[in-house]
């Protein structure tokens, strides 16, 4: 006759293993699709809370030893601690000084040029407006840029068809090299107090152009949007609702 397993030992074994059996026990079958969906949402919420708590505990006393580890830590940080907008700002700032100006350079083929002998009559103005651009470089006889025409700043009431572009163009033009870092390019924008910079290469050949709004978008790693258009009115600015 076989000897039965000692009851006292069996009791202790079951007591020790019992918590581990919980994960294998089937959940009660939902009586409807709605109940099943609610149960699934509760389980997901519970899991996410457990994961967030575990991440907080794991990173509580952790100090990253490299930039790579810092990036990984930022990715693991819960969104209620660090929002998507904040993550984008951090990642954009971290990579800003490493990226090159060529990254945001629009090609030369996208530029519409004017010659210093051109006149801004109705036909020429219509062609410029149809391009969708607002800044147009002006070339001299040597095919070098000698100025800029900004259609968004033209006083159309005082422009005549026999008026050459040299009379109304901006003579100050800012240049940057394609291998400048974005930080160096930003310095050009600030020094020249402009929002439009022509990009050249080491052989002084025109490569394209860069705009300040594109550079700012790269810095913040997102497009900067604000529909408010009355910045020239101190009254409207003072009364603006920021919510």
Residue 178 contacts residue 101 (beta carbons within 8 Å): yes
Angstrom CA distances, 41 to 38, 44, 45, 128, stand at 5, 5, 6, 56
**pLDDT band, very low/low/confident/very high, at 243 (cuts 50, 70, 90):** low
CATH architecture of 101-220: Roll (3.10)
Residue range 24-50, pLDDT digits in tens = 444 455 556 677 778 888 888 888 888
Question: What residues have CB less than 8 Å from 219, skipping those under 6 apart?
Answer: 92, 93, 96, 182, 186
User: Mean per-residue pLDDT for 89-101?
Assistant: 82
pLDDT at position 31: 57
Q: Domain map of the chain by residue range?
A: 42-82, 101-220
Indicate the pTM of the whole model. 0.64
Q: Is the pLDDT of residue 53 over 80?
A: no
Phi, psi for 59 (deg, rounded to 5): -100, 5
Return the half-sphere exposure (C-beta side, CA atoms, 13 A cut-off) of residue 17. 8
**pLDDT band, very low/low/confident/very high, at 59 (cuts 50, 70, 90):** low
**pLDDT band, very low/low/confident/very high, at 147 (cuts 50, 70, 90):** very high
**pLDDT band, very low/low/confident/very high, at 58 (cuts 50, 70, 90):** low
């Amino acid at each position: 006759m076989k000897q039965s397993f000692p009851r006292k030992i069996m009791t202790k074994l079951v007591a020790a293993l019992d918590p581990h059996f919980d994960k294998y026990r089937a959940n009660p079958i939902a009586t409807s699709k709605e109940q099943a969906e609610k149960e699934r949402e509760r389980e997901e919420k519970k899991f996410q809370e457990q994961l967030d708590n575990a991440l907080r505990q794991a990173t509580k006393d952790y100090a990253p030893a490299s930039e790579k580890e810092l990036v990984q830590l930022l990715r693991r940080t819960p969104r209620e601690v660090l929002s998507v907008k904040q993550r984008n700002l951090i990642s954009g700032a971290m990579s800003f000084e490493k990226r090159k100006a060529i990254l945001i350079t629009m090609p030369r083929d996208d530029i519409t040029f004017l010659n210093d002998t051109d006149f801004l009559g109705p036909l020429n103005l219509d062609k410029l407006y149809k391009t969708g651009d607002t800044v147009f470089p002006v070339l001299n006889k040597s095919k070098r840029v000698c100025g800029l025409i900004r259609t968004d700043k033209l006083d159309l009431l005082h422009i005549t068809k026999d008026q050459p572009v040299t009379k109304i163009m901006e003579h100050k033009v800012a240049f940057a090299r394609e291998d400048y870092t974005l930080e160096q390019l930003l310095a050009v924008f600030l020094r020249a107090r402009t929002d439009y910079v022509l990009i050249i290469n080491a052989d002084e050949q025109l490569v394209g152009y860069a705009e300040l709004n594109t550079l700012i978008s790269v810095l913040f790693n997102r497009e900067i949007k604000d529909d408010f258009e009355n910045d020239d009115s101190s009254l409207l600015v003072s009364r603006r609702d920021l919510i």
